[in-house]
A and B are shown apart, each in its own frame.
Chain A
């Protein structure tokens, strides 16, 4: 194994990763570097003369009321992640053992996840129709005279989107939980049952702690996935009414492609990156701590 062998190995290695590396360089790395540079410029697309403005965009962002509104909306949006995870755990626990028609039910719960988010968002838009839509029709029929305006009222629009997102993510979380539940040794649950534990106690005291690594994984990946999403929100509310559903990722899109403030949009997009970085670091720390329970 001389030097030439090593050299040949290296060349071979580059030959294998080369084609992919080229694309990753062109469509990921270079754009990321360029975006980092744009953050410090006043680039607006209309004005091709780029000038360096230092930290002006970051200062503007930190003083921008809309930025904080977007952060608040994002926070409300992210509330859907733990809710969806908890519901998915309950569904998975029920479907794992104690029901008939296991496979059919599993498929039904998973269905929303594989459909186009944009298409189903439009269905929900009509379901949520405030004056005569079926959801408010149902609420009135059970005696709620003033049901929420859902997507058309500033105070409820974000929560309506949360409901859609919980519904959308539930099936995915359930599938991951089902895989985790299958790993739990039968004997452990049996032992608890013999000791006289009630089903609810087994679920809460035995199974829930055992799947905690999965819960943690779903939480972090769900938060990261959700914070990057803006498609369904752009499709049905465009961030409105007012700016009540303008989440951070949508705020970036709007600044870049509605107002063509591309330097400013780049600065906010790196704020989004910073948040994702924090989640990722949390995941690394958590994985080390949670892998063995």
Chain B
């Protein structure tokens, strides 16, 4: 955008002019704006309609599920579907603990290991750096489908197939994370580290004492993105887990639905259990998540 020049547009309005104009624009209710707001709100309701229907249905009685016109709010709140989902033989409590354990360990490992590597790529000149980075770049193109079979054979051979390690160990390595953090470390001006070098600090000290604290926002963004990726990951769990007591939330959800094909209330109670925690995290950390998503893809 820097090279878009608009010399013909006349003098650039000063800050105060712009502020005044803003005030003028925002004050008073404009009919066009109200109309568009209503239209966009209508579409927004359509966007969240599946969630509303899901939560409503999870409290309905079986007879109310498919009543038309849709009953958005059930006459009586039936908690029994939720109780059934959470307490069954392999209930969602187990799946939650599994998902939490896998996602947390993977995320912590991935954030640390990728920022370490990213610092190496961004800040240290060493032999073979460029070809190695190119190798990383090329690995981003390899789809997971290529890797499933050989990973399955490897995990079977080293005895971690059908254990949580099959998800945690590979989960600690993210090429995307290396890219994102490298981008950040590249953006830190050299003068900041130069002073530390003159004072005799080595790379490790600069990394831990100077760079990591500086990188807090980027680290938080990576952690959120990585965590939600692990939390929602269904495909790896599907391939590498077999035992029901090891299942993660998405896999447990599918299992529940396969075993209760006509229990629509139970299905929606299970789906609610799978979705609502992420929705809560989102409502609380909304600003950071949106900024993170927007920032990561623009910079990365």
- Report which A residues bind B (CB closer than 8 A): 6, 9-17, 19-21, 23-24, 26-32, 34-35, 38, 91, 94-95, 98-101, 105-112, 114-120, 122-124, 126-127, 129, 132-134, 137-138, 141, 167, 170-172, 175-176, 178-180, 183-188, 190-191, 217, 221, 227-228, 230-231, 234-235, 249, 252-253, 256-257, 262, 265-266, 269-270, 272-273, 276-277, 280, 292
Contact = CB atoms under 8 A, between A and B. Distances in A.
A132 B142 CA distance: 42
Q: Decide if the interface of chain B is mainly helix, strand, loop or mixed.
A: helix
Contact of A126 (B47, B57, B275): B57
Contacts of A191: 6, 9
Interface pairs A-B: 5 shortest CB-CB: A13-B126, A16-B120, A20-B117, A23-B173, A119-B274
Contact of A31 (B136, B150, B169, B290): B150
A126 B39 CA distance: 27
A276 B143 contact: yes
Q: Decide if the interface of chain A is mainly helix, strand, loop or mixed.
A: helix
Contacts of B267: 122, 126
A109 B44 CA distance: 6
B212 to A, nearest CB: 13
Contact of B124 (A13, A106, A126): A13
B97 interface: no
B56 to A, nearest CB: 10
B77 interface: no
Instruction: Give the interface centre of B4, B32, B33, B40 by most chain A CB atoms within 10 Å.
Output: B40
Contacts of B150: 30-32, 34-35, 38
Size bracket of the B interface: 35 or more
Given A16-B207, A31-B151, A269-B145, 16 more contacts: A9-B126, A12-B203, A20-B114, A23-B173, A27-B147, A27-B173, A28-B173, A105-B40, A116-B253, A126-B264, A187-B12, A188-B9, A252-B145, A256-B148, A257-B239, A269-B149
A127 B278 contact: no
Contacts, number: 290
B144 interface: yes
B256 to A, nearest CB: 9
A215 B62 CA distance: 45
Contacts of A124: 50
19 contacts: A9-B125, A9-B126, A13-B125, A24-B139, A27-B151, A31-B146, A31-B147, A34-B150, A108-B45, A116-B249, A117-B234, A118-B232, A119-B253, A119-B274, A126-B57, A227-B143, A257-B152, A266-B146, A269-B146
A34 B148 CA distance: 11
Interface string B263-280: 010011011001100110
A39 B254 CA distance: 31
